[in-house]
Structure 1
């Protein structure tokens, strides 16, 4: 549904162009009849947003009452401020109702965390949370277990210590991902990280409600200032991307139909799961390798779905085109404006860019976006093959200092390991980077401090990278039970044991410990750890029960497909072990599990798994 009629400057007739093997008429597409002339239904959330005075009410009133919870209207608004209300199902007391608490999520473009903010988050976790810090798959923090009465203290502490939670959730652009590469001598990586920060600034809500709610309207002064080019690009409204005279020039009073996700990276580095993003941005350097020439853009990726609802689905992003360096912000606004004005507002399950791309096709989406951009997208620049990177272990930054990528199992920093990390980060004033795979990179380590840092971490039980099984290193799980209201089964707490069992199955199948296998596990189908890109995805579909998704690529460039439903945890061996045996017997040299599945197809995979099961019963060598 179109919220306002964009001022469109026609691009006129253009010649045909070739996209792959398909010749497409390169003519500006119009949306046809103005959608504002058609009556459209809107979901309840749309009215909550519209009547909130840009995310203020009734949240401000409910935060100061004596209840331990907020109502549904405020829950929806609270998301925009970076928090979800939760109920700890394992702490409910008989006759006392739900055990309410809040999850707070930060905004950390490209995962960059200053030393001061890390220490504050560590303190807040102990003082007001459940004593743990959770690293997310979008390179941010989650603080679990915050009580309503402590919310203002927690939020204001983050804001006043170089952090923010604004737009970490809600129907806006979420935290912008970027490669966690710690290299100071790579202009391409530095450009990708700056693009992540600038795009986050460009699309940050502007109304001031965030500071009204958490700082009582105090105009908190920060040393950080956004790039003036971002400020100028946000204000520009030559092609109908903005609402004139609105506190929210890009979002308006109804914000986006639902969440929007962006990631930036460099050619070949798919550490950010580029193809799962609503907008993917790839930095293209000039021939000197020192200056940004432009950007390849991808649009329409996403992961969330609902079980047994064919109208919801994961999808890979399509190539949208290439823009010159000076046009990145305008292009991002154009894509967001298309989603804002034409995305569904009646059905939140289908309110994502991937559903628009599935219905329209990329050529129509591109043509409508070009109207908001005011020029044509160019052909994408050819790129090298994509690779998975995690930046774990020790390495050189490029400026004489070192980095140390620390594996954090399922992103949960807790106990002695939390204290050890705190000691090292505080003693040596280290900044950190949160990675897209729930890990942590310590930055700016002087070579002479390496041994002491290693001793501090070892004393706290932080394992060296070689001590972790490769399965764990490549795995991810969402928090799931007991706090997530969407979870129908375990994930974070279950995956370590599941991985141990998978390792035993692989060993019995004759596969070496060095064989990579990407496993991702969720407690529901919403896809928070991007399980539909995994070689082996376990997606919760009931108590101790999972769908199995197979066939994603090791570089996260191919979607997995549903292989089996309602597989009980106790039955994993009988389902998976024959698959691993067939893989070992029938794969090509060094062929990854996901590649083997995709090459054969499910019919052949099932036949070969059945043959393997008959030849070697489960549990035998």
Structure 2
């Protein structure tokens, strides 16, 4: 944050963190003087040193709250919309893309659009699922994609069909509003189907309430896609949400604005929230701008919430000023304060997040630059009182909810593995058949899988038979490496992709399993593997035990050392690795891991404990296992051979590895 950056709000200034001592803060919400100075108030008048803003900031400000020039661009004869309209289009839930593999020489880019839905907690009604399936066949590329934030993506929509597609989603009680753009994105929650767990039920409810609280309010969405037609949703907003949105005793809102929380500039960048329960990290909690943990008493009654802030995955290759970051614990609030504290955190990012450089505009950079204490102090001013101390939590665990489970209400749920989240072909047809036949709702998981819900036990046999005929494997037959994997869409559609991800993942998981089997690992063992086509981190690669981050054609950065529970960042092991060198690179690491791991130690934990220096040193002298039989033989005395064998076992090396090292030291 530059010292000259001025907040965009104009009603009430903020005191500096040091001045908090003079501000009476108690259990109630104190009055704050309009005469106090802002944290980022420059020492000179703003007119003498005006803060810079990116082009996107001006596009937002001049758009009449996301209407223009998008409305004009959508009705032109061109197959695309201009750059300014494309930026606004994101707020409505769509990215303009270019299918690089369908370009025709001399005709320029092949424009099409990706539409993303907004599904708080990943919950999808039967009606909406069937609508999305129809739209994929009629107006998309025939596939549906389940994202890492529990939403649908529909690829291949042409400009001329956008209005039909968007209006169809809205009329099926769905939404795409805020699925992209500089606003709160889809709010995640565990895909747990438990109806008898109050904590999980509340996590789902809260995710929907927060989505309502932070949804854009101006009505532009309906002006663009329904020509201003009034559309009444089946779900009414909780009056507590409406009351909390309107509350403005501490400067969180813009008075008399169509966008009371966002104003005409919206947020500096996207804002991500995840809600979960203690111990369940199926949502990658620490990768979010704001993570919320539902805290219940022994009877299951919600008492309050733990909060973590400042997570985010996006970065740029070889730009050290950009980085992935884990969220930090910031405090705890009582149940009735959750909407107000969320608004306070959003307002802090809105007013003090950088707007001059979009690479540094996420909340994580503000927390990193200010430090947690200063960030908390400013949040508390918008909140009107102190945050309480963060409450103790149990160890985190990743859960994928695949296979059969009981909902607790007499019905069943079945989690279907969908590699990289792509629904297509016979798999898509079979799922459509079951979801339509039994009128099933579904839930999309943050690991790109699909959970069929509300299944009567008597339907189980037919469901399994239908899935088996479509070659959909039961979870017990899915390789654990594939089961834990995530990949982003990447090429050919994503404009940021510089390498393959989704299309490369199936082959890479097979190659890793083949390598591990060759080295003697059990089929139940396998690391968390994630692949992205660029460093922006949509598949959260920097949390994986092994991550391949696209860096060119068939070239990847190799990251190692994340944890299976997604609680530790990985680090760069190799800056560039050609994909054909995957086995050559990982074989020595897997071999050492097998020889020296501790009981139940995961691969990522092992890499972190041993350290990269030791891993690189070991790799430098490693002799591949399949080449041992072809190596020349050397005769040794029996006693010397036995000592060499014992030393090799002690150091976790093969005889060929240790012997080569010893001879190399002597002759070189």
Query: 1:234–1:250: 8 Å Cα contact kept in structure 2?
Result: yes
The question of 1:76 aligning with 2:87 is answered yes
- Inter-partner Cα distance in structure 1 for 2:558 and 2:477: 28
User: Which of 182, 189, 213 matches 1:171?
Assistant: 182
1:152-204 Cα shifts (integer Å, max 9, x gaps): 00000000001000000000000000010000000000111111111111000
**Is 1:159 matched with 2:170?**
yes
Equivalent-residue separation in structure 1 for 2:72 and 2:111 (angstroms): 18
Contact 1:508–1:619 (8 Å) recurs in 2: no
- Counterpart of 2:204 (choices 193, 198, 202) is 193
1:248–1:614 Cα change, 3 Å: same
Within 5 Å, which residues of 2 pair with 1:425-444? Answer: 425-444=435-454
Quote the residue 1:55 is aligned against: 66
CA distance in 1, matches of 2:234, 2:119: 16
Report deviation, 1:287. 3.2
Equivalent in 594, 603, 607 of residue 604 of structure 2: 594
Partners of 2:54 and 2:417 lie apart in 1 by: 41
What does residue 666 of structure 2 align with?
Answer: none
1:456 maps onto 2:460 in alignment: no
**How far 1:466 moved relative to its partner?**
1.8
SS of residue matched to 2:557: strand
Displacement of 1:586 = 1.2
Are residues 1:245 and 2:245 paired? no
By how many angstroms is 1:286 displaced?
A: 2.2
Instruction: Quote the Cα distance in structure 2 between the aligned partners of 1:163 and 1:323.
Output: 31
Is the 2:527–2:602 contact (alpha carbons within 8 Å) kept by the matching residues of 1?
A: yes
> Secondary structure of 2:109's partner?
coil
C-alpha contact (below 8 Å) 2:14/2:38 kept by paired residues = no
Once the two structures are TM-superposed, the CA of residue 454 in structure 1 deviates from its matched residue by 1.0
Residues 1:340 and 2:350 are matched in the alignment: yes
Aligned-residue CA RMSD in angstroms?
1.7
Q: Which residue of 1 aligns with 2:657?
A: none
1:11 is displaced (CA, Å) by 5.2
Q: Report the alpha carbon displacement of residue 614 of structure 1 after superposing the two structures with TM.
A: 6.3
Q: Distance in 2 between matches of 1:96 and 1:14?
A: 64
CA separation in 1, counterparts of 2:498 and 2:20? 50
> Does residue 86 in structure 1 map to residue 88 in structure 2?
no
TM-aligned CA deviation for residue 500 of structure 1:
0.8
1:285–1:618 Cα change, 3 Å:
farther
One of 301, 309, 312 as aligned partner of 1:302: 312
What is the match of residue 221 of structure 1? 232
Q: Across the two proteins, how many residue pairs are aligned to each other? A: 607
Aligned partners of 1:615 and 1:163: how far apart in 2? Answer: 54
Say if 1:614 and 1:428 are closer, same or farther in 2 by CA, change over 3 A: closer
Instruction: Please tell me whether the aligned partners of residues 8 and 239 of structure 1 are also in contact (alpha carbons under 8 angstroms).
Output: no
Contact 1:7 1:239 in 2 (8 A): no
Q: 2:595 — aligned with what?
A: 585
The answer as to 2:503 corresponding to 1:493 is yes
TM-superposed deviation, 1:504: 1.2
Partner of 1:552: 562
Q: Give the Cα separation in 2 of the matches to 1:401 and 1:619.
A: 57
- Asked whether the 8 Å contact 1:11–1:375 carries over to 2, the reply is no
Which residue of the other structure, out of 148, 159, 171, is the alignment partner of 1:137?
148
1:387 aligned counterpart, secondary structure: coil
Q: What is the Cα deviation at residue 381 of structure 1? A: 0.8
Aligned to 1:407: 417
2:482 maps to 1:472: yes
Task: Give distance in 1, aligned partners of 2:226 and 2:628.
Answer: 60
Structure 1 residue 33, shift from structure 2 partner: 5.0
Q: How far is the alpha carbon of 1:609 from its aligned partner?
A: 2.9
Q: Distance in 1 between matches of 2:289 and 2:478?
A: 33
The CA distance in 2 between the partners of 1:481 and 1:87, in whole Å, is 10
Q: How far did residue 461 of structure 1 move?
A: 1.9
Equivalent in the alignment of 1:124: 135
Q: Give the structure-1-normalised TM-score.
A: 0.95
Q: How far off its partner does 1:13 sit?
A: 5.3
| Pairs within 5 Å for 1:33-44 | 34=41, 37=46, 39-44=50-55
CA separation of 1:374 and 1:462: change in aligned 2, threshold 3 A: same
Work out whether residues 13 and 38 of structure 2, in 8 Å CA contact, stay in contact via their aligned partners in 1. Answer: no
- 1:30–1:368 CA contact under 8 A, matched in 2: no
1:606 Cα shift? 1.4
Of 196, 201, 205, the residue aligned with 2:216 is: 205
CA 1:218–1:563 in 2, change beyond 3 Å: closer, same or farther? same
Alignment match, 1:23: none
1:108 is aligned to 119
2:587/2:624 contact within 8 Å kept: no
What is aligned with 2:580? 570
Contact 2:332 2:390 in 1 (8 A): yes
In 1: Cα distance, 2:114 partner to 2:384 partner: 41
| 3-state secondary structure, aligned to 1:293 | strand
Partner of 2:31: none
Distance 2:508 2:490 in 1: 15
Asked if residue 258 in structure 1 is aligned to residue 263 in structure 2, the reply is no
Contact kept in structure 2, 1:578 and 1:618, CA below 8 Å: no
Q: 2:520, 2:612 → 1: CA distance?
A: 22
C-alpha distance in 2, partners of 1:106/1:615?
48
1:325-404 alignment, distance < 5 Å = 325-404=335-414
**For residue 246 of structure 2, what is the aligned residue in structure 1?**
235
CA contact (8 A) 1:542 1:566 kept: no
Deviation at 1:58, TM superposition (A): 0.4
Distance between the aligned counterparts of 1:43 and 1:440, measured in 2? 39
Task: Report the Cα distance in structure 1 between the residues aligned to 2:223 and 2:145, rounded to whole angstroms.
Answer: 27
SS in structure 1 at match of 2:465? helix
Post-superposition offset of 1:30: 7.8
8 Å contact 2:532–2:548 — kept in the other structure? yes
- The answer to whether the 8 A contact 1:11-1:374 is kept is no
Give the distance between the partners of 2:339 and 2:629, measured in 1 at CA: 56
SS in 1 for 2:164: helix
- The separation in 1 between residues aligned to 2:208 and 2:114, in whole angstroms, is 24
Shift of 1:94: 1.1
Structure 1 pair 508–293 and aligned structure 2 pair: CA distance change class (3 A): same
For 1:589 and 1:60, locate their aligned partners in 2 and report how far apart those are by CA, in whole Å.
61
Uncovered stretches (5+) of structure 2, i.e. residues with no partner: 1-5, 25-35, 631-653, 655-668
Greater than 4 Å deviation, 4+ residue runs: 7-11, 614-621
1:324 to 2:334 alignment: yes
